[in-house]
Structure 1
Amino acid sequence: MIRRYPLLMFCLAMSCLSAQRALADDSTSSGDRRAAVHTQLAGEYLKRGQYNVAVQEVREALTTSPRYPAAFGMLGLIYAELRDDAQATANFKQALEYAPNDPDLNNNYGWYLCGHGKPKEGVQYYLNALKNPLYPTPDKTLLSAGQCAATAGDYDNAKDYFTRVMRYRPDSVDARFQLAELGLKTKDYVLTRQNYNEVQRMAQPSAQVTFLGLRLEHALGNKEAEARLSEILKRQYPDSIETTRLLSGQLD
């Protein structure tokens, strides 16, 4: 239902071209301001898969402002993409040494740790990000924290994080979907049914939603409903991952 990504610092408000013009037109800007633009450019090049250019832009940022935390955070993301764990870890830690309370840096390092077999540590960095009352996307971070906690087998906290998402986003289909999945893992089929029904009401039909319902009916032993959803999945979504899982018997 969701795909997890860190809060990448891409050129959101300005394109790469406008960022380059900003550098050319403002030769007297402060070191941090120029470092910020170079870091934004690095994020855009990272998004395009131009890793060498992205690293070069970060180096430019650190030339103008050697202790600029976001630049080290960006290097962490670049090296994470390149699967250089030593460099990724070192740069994330350096970024947090300079800005330990920065919510984006904490979020991104949490994302990295959760994806590299350290979910308990990752959750703590997600929670650090949430300590900032002005943090603009607490719902996304709580969702990621819930997934991370569930990976670690900490189902009680995972349920709490997913539930808290809906304080910020009552219409969050992703939080409902994750709660339904959590119910299947913990055999709390009331939790699954309640949230599956909400997902059906709120979301467009999809292979993921159909497969969720199919697995619920399978767990409950409702053969007729399971067979009906199985036929829908195979007929409407024959090339989906979910249909492949169904045909290979992966219903857990």
Structure 2
Amino acid sequence: MRITTKSLAVTVLAASLSACANSSSTSKKQTAEYYAQLGAGYLQKNRLELAQENLDKALKVNRNSKDALHYSALLQERLGNMQKADSLFKRAMQLDSKNPELLNNYGSHLCKQGQYKAAVTAFNAALQDPLYETPEFAYTNAGVCLQSAKVSDQAEGYYRKALERNPNFPLALYQMAELEYARGENAKAQAFLYRYNERAQSTAETLFLCYKINRALNDSTATEECVTKLIAQFPNSVEAKQIN
């Protein structure tokens, strides 16, 4: 799933679909799993109506499908139905409280609601699983949440742990660039943003940060280049309008 620089990192793991949902030998649980994974696949592709259709089918077959509840929560959150998403997340957590991907996504949900302490607790719980394959997501999310709570020093610790695990993780690189810029450490911010740009595509947020950093460094040529790219690539963005 594409990760934007402004968002918390959410993971959706869609398994390959090899079973036929209509097979007479397929149990209700397997059928629900089939529809849940199909829904997850559509969610990854941002085809929300088809995601909703298949996740609803999964829950109709098995109202306690852990994956269907998890992915339905993510879908409702994307649709802006935060109260419904919260209810679905809580049901999923009752059934699958040690799943690191679920804990990461639930932590992201809590952080968006301003429940920073509970969110970091969820991220740390995800990180306790030695089999968690992408802990850089939870480390970075914990940092984002702590930064939102104005605890920058602790946030930096989590970002650095994310980069220890995956030195090329774009979201952590961007967050470190933002953090260093906020501190007035513009050369360090520029170095982190350069590493980000080597590994990920520019966004309105990264180009706006590029503009701010180079303006602070009094590099008019680089500043103008950042502005030109921002307006050309993202003319309707909030960042482009701020510059205009």
Q: TM-score, normalised by structure 1?
A: 0.77
Query: Partners of 2:226 and 2:194 in 1: how far apart?
Result: 17
Q: Match for residue 250 of structure 1?
A: none
Q: Match for residue 223 of structure 2?
A: 230
Residue identity opposite 1:7 in structure 2: T
Counterparts of residues 130-209 of structure 1 (less than 5 Å): 130-189=127-186, 191-199=188-196, 209=206
**Partners of 1:45 and 1:53 within 8 A in 2:** no
1:201 shift after superposition = 5.9
Change (3 A) 1:59 1:210: closer
1:164 shift after superposition = 0.8
Query: Partners of 1:207 and 1:45 in 2: how far apart?
Result: 26
Q: Match for residue 126 of structure 2?
A: 129
Change (3 A) 1:189 1:9: same
Change (3 A) 1:171 1:87: closer
**For the pair shown, which has the larger CA radius of gyration, 1 or 2?**
1
**Partners of 2:208 and 2:227 within 8 A in 1:** no
Q: Match for residue 101 of structure 2?
A: 104
Residue identity opposite 1:181 in structure 2: E
Is 1:36–2:33 an aligned residue pair? yes
- For structure 1, which runs of at least 5 residues remain unmatched after alignment? 248-252
Counterparts of residues 8-23 of structure 1 (less than 5 Å): 8-10=12-14, 12-14=15-17, 22-23=20-21
Q: Match for residue 53 of structure 1?
A: 53
Query: Partners of 2:208 and 2:163 in 1: how far apart?
Result: 23
CA RMSD of aligned residues (A): 2.9
Query: Partners of 2:131 and 2:86 in 1: how far apart?
Result: 26
Query: Partners of 1:203 and 1:246 in 2: how far apart?
Result: 23
1:53 shift after superposition = 1.2
Residue identity opposite 2:47 in structure 1: R
Query: Partners of 2:56 and 2:170 in 1: how far apart?
Result: 39
Change (3 A) 1:84 1:172: closer
1:204 shift after superposition = 6.8
Query: Partners of 1:209 and 1:56 in 2: how far apart?
Result: 37
Query: Partners of 1:193 and 1:199 in 2: how far apart?
Result: 10
1:55 shift after superposition = 4.3
**Partners of 2:66 and 2:95 within 8 A in 1:** yes
Deviations 1:54-77 (A, max 9, x none): 342232341xxx533222222322
Report how many residues are paired: 233
2:10 to 6, 9, 23: 6
**Partners of 1:177 and 1:196 within 8 A in 2:** yes
Query: Partners of 2:200 and 2:212 in 1: how far apart?
Result: 18
- For structure 2, which runs of at least 5 residues remain unmatched after alignment? none
Query: Partners of 2:225 and 2:87 in 1: how far apart?
Result: 48
1:238 is paired with a residue whose SS is helix
**Partners of 1:38 and 1:61 within 8 A in 2:** no
State the percentage of identical aligned residues.
24
Q: Which has the higher contact order (CA 8 A, sep 6+)?
A: 2
Q: TM-score, normalised by structure 2?
A: 0.79
Residue identity opposite 1:48 in structure 2: R
Residue identity opposite 1:230 in structure 2: T
